[in-house]
Structure 1
Amino acid sequence: MLSLPAIDFSTPPDEASLRPPARERFAPRLVRAISGELVSIQDGRKLHLRSIAPNDIESLQRCFLRLSPEDVRRRFLHAMSELPTPMAQRLCQIDSTIETALVLVDETVVPGEIRGVGRIYVDQAADSAEFSVLVEKNWTRLGLGALLMQRLVDDCRHRGLAEIWGYVLLENRPMLDLCKTLGFVRRRMDNEPGVAQITLRLV
C-alpha cells in the first residue's frame, strides 16, 4: 500500500479504461492508495494494477527474462542477462515514504505474471523524483505505459513534489513521444551521448 493521506473515494470506478483519448487519459487526478484496480484493454484483456509486493520477486524475475536485450538496455541503460535475486528483492521491498512501485499483473495465468512496472524514487533534498517505466513487449502500444506514467505523475503531485524526471535513450521514441504528450521537457546529456534527461515541473 502507498503511504498516502486518506482520500474520499466514495464512488471510485471499478475499472480503469484505456479507451479515452490522450487528453482525458493524461488529465491530472488524485491517486488512490492502490490495493487493486482493474485495467481494461482495447482488445478485451484485463490487468490488475496494484502496488508491488514483497512476494513479487519471482514474478519480477520471470518478467525480466521475457524482455529482449533492447528492452533491458532501454530500461537499465546497460546490458543485463538476468535480474539477480538480491536486486529483485530490493525492487519488491520498497520504502513507501520515498518510493512508489506499481505493477500490472496478468491474472489469467497461474501464477500471475507481471506485464508492466512503473516506479519513482524520491530525492527529498531536491524535492523531485526519478521515474522508470517498463512494459513487456507483447503488451506495448496498448496505453499501459501511459497509464503507469500518469499514475506516477499523479503520485508525485500528491506528495507535493516540484518535479519528476528520468533518463531515456534517444532511440526510445515511444517513451519520448509519450513524455512529450505529458508535457515533459527534453535535455540532451553532454556526458552521456544517446541519452536524454526528461523533466516535468509539477508546481
Structure 2
Amino acid sequence: MATPPVLDADHQPDIDVAAALVDRAIGQGRSWLEPDEVAQLLALFGIPALGLVIVADAAAAAEAAKEQFAAGRTVALKIVSPDIAHKSDVGGVELDLANEHAVQEAAGSMAERLQQLRPEARLSGFLVQPMAHRSKARELIAGFSVDSCFGPVIVFGRGGTAAELIADTHVALPPLDLASAENLIARTRVSRILSAYRDVPAADRHAIAAVLVALGNIASVLPQIRAMDLNPVLADANGVVVVDARVVLEPDPARRRRPAIRPYPGSWTSQLTLGERSFLIRPMKPEDELAIGAMLGRVTLEDLRLRFFAPLKSFSHAFLARLTQLDYAREMAFIAIEERNREAAGAVRLHADPGHVEAEYAILLRSDLKGIGLGRALMKLIIDWAEAEKLQRVHSQVLAENAPMLALCRDLGFEIALDPDDVSVRRVGLNLETRTGRRRYQLRR
C-alpha cells in the first residue's frame, strides 16, 4: 500500500517499433535477436548499454576499433554466432585490446577455437565495443524468462561469468514499479555491496530499479520474447550500463504466455480538447495518489457528498491508495490531467464483479470544471472500456437530487429506477449487450 516513487515519464518506449523489430526476426525464421537488434531494443526501452559495431571479418574488426584507439580507449572483441548462447564458453570474448594488430590476431584465434570446439556453429562476424572501465562497478545480472505456470518472471542478482555458481538471484512477477523493483533488489545478497563501503561510493539503486521496470515492461508487452539476459550489468555511482545481452524469441504464438499480473494498459492513453482546454486522459497509476488528493481538495463539500454519499472532509493515505492502486484485470480508472498545469481534473472508475459480468462505475470532477463536457467524455470512455472487456452491464447508484448526473445517464441510454431500499437514491444501469445503435466513442489516441 506504499505510494511508489514516480518513474521518469519523459521516455515512453515505442511499442509498435519494438514489436516490428522482433516480428521481423521471427519472420526470418530466427530464434535470437542479432546484437545490433538487441541494442535497438534496449535503446527503445531506455536501458543504457555500451555502443557496438558488428563486422564481417578480422580485418574489418581492426578497422572498426581505430576510432576507439584514437580516443584513448581499449576495446572488447566478441564473436557473433546465432548458435552460441554464452560466448565465453568457446573463448569468444577478448578484453582490453589496445591496438589493431591485437584485434586482428584475437579475431583469428577466436575463429579457430570456434571451429575446434563447435564445428557446427555458424560464425556471423565479430562485435567491437569500447571497454567499460568502471573500476568500482558491481557486476549484476538482470533479465526474464517464461515460467510454465506464471508466465514471464523477472530475474535479478549477482552477475558476471560466475553468476550460475554464485546463485544469488531472486525473481518477481512483472510489471514492476520502482517500489517493487527495489524490493526485488533488496532480497539479494549483492544488494549489500550496492551501498557505500570503504572507498567505494554507493551504486545508483534508482538506475538499477529503472532497468528492472523496463524489463518488466518488455516482458509484459512483447510476448514474442521468450527470454532476455543482461549480463553483466555494471552499476556504480554514475548509473548502470549493460555490457552484454541476449534475447531469445518465441516464434510459436500458441506457446506465448501472458503475464500473471495484467500490465498497465498504456494503449488507452488519449488526448481530449474541450474549447480552449486540453487534457491528457490515461489509465490511473499508483503514483497518481498525490494528484488525486490535490484534486479532491478542489472539490466542494456538496460535490463530495453527491459522489460519496457523505460530506467527507479529509482523505487518508489508505483511502487514496484504494483509489489509485488498481488490479487492471478487474477494475479500471481513467484520470484526466489538464495539460496547461499538469493538475488532475477528474477521474472515472469501473469495478467489475468476480464473474466479470457486471461493473459499477463512479465519476468525480473538480468543481471548477463542471459543465464543459469532461464528465460526458469520461463516461463514454469508461463505457468503451466496459465493452472492450466484454462486460454485460454497467450500473451505479445516484442520489435523486443529483439532477446533472441523472440527466447525463439518461442521455447515454441508462435505465433509471427507484431504489426500493432508499427513496433518496436512484439505480442507473446500462445493458451493453442489447443497447441499440451503440457507437464506440473514441478519443484521439
The aligned residue for residue 137 of structure 1 is 367
Q: Does 1:73 align with 2:305?
A: yes
- Unaligned 5+ residue runs, structure 2? 1-264, 434-445
2:353 is the counterpart of 1:90: no
- For residue 115 of structure 1, report the CA deviation from its aligned partner: 0.7
| Correspondence 1:41-52 to 2 at 5 A | 41-42=274-275, 44-52=276-284
Give the structure with the higher percent helix: 2
Whole-Å Cα distance in 1 between the matches of residues 266 and 282 of structure 2?
10
C-alpha contact 2:266 2:283 (8 A) present in aligned 1: no
1 CA distance for matches of 2:369 and 2:319? Answer: 24
Confirm whether residue 33 of structure 1 aligns to residue 263 of structure 2: no
Which structure has the greater CA radius of gyration?
2
Q: In structure 2, give the amino acid aligned to 1:90.
A: R
**Counterpart amino acid of residue 346 in structure 2:** G
- CA offset at residue 65 of structure 1? 1.1
Q: Deviations over 1:118-141 (max 9, x none)?
A: 000001337100000111111111
Contact 2:330-2:356 at 8 Å conserved across structures? no
User: 1:186 pairs with 413, 416, 426, which one?
Assistant: 416
Distance 1:38 1:159 in 2: 21
In structure 2, distance between residues paired with 1:48 and 1:125: 32
Contact kept in structure 2, 1:64 and 1:82, CA below 8 Å = no
Secondary structure of 2:421's counterpart equals coil
Matched, 1:128 2:358: yes
Answer whether contact 1:61 1:82 (CA < 8 A) is retained.
no
Q: Which amino acid is 2:368 matched to? A: N
3-state secondary structure, aligned to 1:78: coil
Cα distance per residue 1:173-201 (max 9 Å; x no partner): 11111110111001111222211110000
State how far apart, in whole Å, the 2-side matches of 1:174 and 1:32 are: 31
Contact 1:115 1:135 in 2 (8 A): yes
- The reply to whether residue 154 of structure 1 matches residue 384 of structure 2 is yes
Which amino acid counterpart does residue 382 of structure 2 have in structure 1? L
- Which residue does the alignment assign to 2:229? none
**Secondary structure of residue in 1 paired with 2:423:** coil
Does structure 1 residue 163 correspond to structure 2 residue 404?
A: no
Could you tell me which amino acid in structure 1 is paired with residue 344 of structure 2?
Answer: I
TM-score by length of 2: 0.37
Asked if the contact 1:63–1:136 (Cα under 8 Å) also holds between the matched residues in 2, the reply is yes
Q: How many residues align?
A: 170
Alignment pair present for 1:105 and 2:337: yes
**Is the partner of 2:347 in helix, strand or coil?**
strand
Shift of 1:32: 8.2
The letter of the residue matching 2:370 is: T
Q: Percent identity?
A: 27
Please report the RMSD computed on the Cα atoms of aligned residues, expressed in angstroms: 1.7
Q: Distance in 2 between matches of 1:174 and 1:33?
A: 31
AA of the residue aligned to 1:66: R
Aligned structure 1 segments of 4 or more residues deviating by more than 2 angstroms = none
Report the counterpart of residue 103 of structure 2 in structure 1: none
Aligned AA for 1:184? F
Q: Cα–Cα, structure 1 residues 47 and 169, in superposed 2: closer, same or farther, change >3 Å?
A: same
2: CA distance, partners of 1:145 / 1:115: 10
Measure, in 2, the Cα distance between the counterparts of 1:126 and 1:188: 25
TM-score between both structures, scaled by the size of structure 1 = 0.79
